[in-house]
């Protein structure tokens, strides 16, 4: 590890819904949940304050449903509900691992989650609770990447860590091109101008305007979340312009 203390005192971890599906590709894999919960517990034990945004693509994709004829706004709200399901499953796994957790939703589902209130969320985090932000921003046409950028800025996080299935950002899809080249560091404009599909342009622009760095890394490798929090150089760092 880079040191005994985390390099980043407060982190927003963005997980795709597919990350919860495991090898099945859809649904929720209980083994993946247990593994993630154990790793989040290890991160919290370092003193790092952690918030999480999880997608819903393992259950429902709003854009794909819209392409099939469902009204786009309706489809996006259905996708928000899918993120709530994932958030509740992750909360259950974290609490079984001994991690105090709160789910806060951008749409009203008070029977199962607290409404998102910025000051309340900050207080939960200050008390050492992991806060899972569900339902994106609560608005259609906005991705969970945009929600992650927004919540990271609102919570005063030091960095967004986006866990994916690959070990960083490549010039082409490494799952299709074995000669794809991985970047160690990129500027926000590199990502935007190169149309690199790490996050949508709204999310990247929001990070650029607020100087919020992004680390893109492989979250499927056990221990990588902790390594990233402790400062090991894994994945790709997106930030300000470099020489």
Q: What is 43-71 written as a DSSP string?
A: HHHTT-EEEEEE--TTT--HHHHHHTTS-
Domains of the chain and any CATH numbers: 10-239 (3.40.1160.10)
> Which tops the pLDDT comparison, 43 or 1?
43
Q: What are phi and psi of 203, to 5 degrees?
A: -65, -45
Q: What is the pTM of this model?
A: 0.92
Is residue 231 a contact partner of residue 6, using CB atoms and an 8 Å limit? Answer: yes
Q: pLDDT tens digits, residue range 198-214?
A: 889 999 999 999 999 99
Confidence of residue 164 (pLDDT cuts 50, 70, 90): confident
Q: List, as own/partner pairs, every contact residues 111-120 make where C-beta atoms lie below 8 angstroms and the sequence separation is at least 24, other chains included.
A: 112/84, 112/88, 113/84, 113/87, 113/88, 118/154, 118/155
Q: pLDDT tens digits, residue range 108-144?
A: 999 999 999 999 999 999 999 999 999 999 999 999 9
Q: What is the mean pLDDT of residues 167-195?
A: 88
Instruction: Determine the Cα–Cα distance for residues 12 and 84; give it in Å rounded to an integer.
Output: 17
Cβ within 8 Å of residue 179, ≥6 positions away: none
pLDDT at 62: 67
Confidence of residue 60 (pLDDT cuts 50, 70, 90): confident
**Residue position matching structure tokens 């690959």:** 166
What tokens appear for 116 in the block?
A: 């998102």
**Burial of 222 (C-beta count, 10 Å sphere; 0-12/13-18/19+):** exposed
Q: What is the mean pLDDT of residues 73-91?
A: 94
């Amino acid at each position: 590890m880079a040191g005994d203390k985390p390099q980043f005192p407060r982190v927003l971890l963005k997980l795709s819904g597919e990350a919860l599906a495991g090898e099945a590709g859809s649904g929720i894999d209980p083994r993946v949940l247990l593994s993630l919960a154990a790793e989040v517990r290890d991160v919290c034990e370092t003193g790092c304050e952690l918030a999480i945004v999880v997608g819903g693509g393992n259950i429902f994709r709003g854009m794909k449903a819209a392409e099939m004829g469902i009204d786009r706004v309706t489809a996006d709200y259905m996708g928000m509900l899918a993120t709530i399901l994932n958030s509740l499953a992750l909360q259950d796994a974290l609490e079984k691992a001994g991690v105090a957790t709160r789910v806060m939703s951008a749409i009203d589902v008070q029977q199962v989650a607290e409404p998102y209130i910025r000051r309340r969320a900050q207080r939960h985090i200050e008390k050492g609770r992991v806060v899972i932000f569900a339902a994106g921003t609560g608005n259609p046409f906005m991705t969970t990447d945009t929600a992650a950028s927004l919540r990271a800025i609102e919570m005063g996080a030091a960095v967004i860590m986006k866990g994916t299935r690959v070990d960083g950002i490549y010039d082409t899809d490494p799952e299709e091109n074995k000669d794809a080249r991985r970047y160690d560091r990129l500027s926000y404009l590199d990502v935007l101008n190169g149309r690199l599909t790490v996050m949508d342009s709204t999310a990247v622009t929001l990070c650029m305007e607020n100087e919020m760095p992004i680390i893109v890394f492989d979250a499927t490798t056990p221990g990588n979340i902790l390594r990233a929090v402790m400062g090991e150089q894994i994945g790709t760092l997106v930030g300000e312009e470099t020489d």
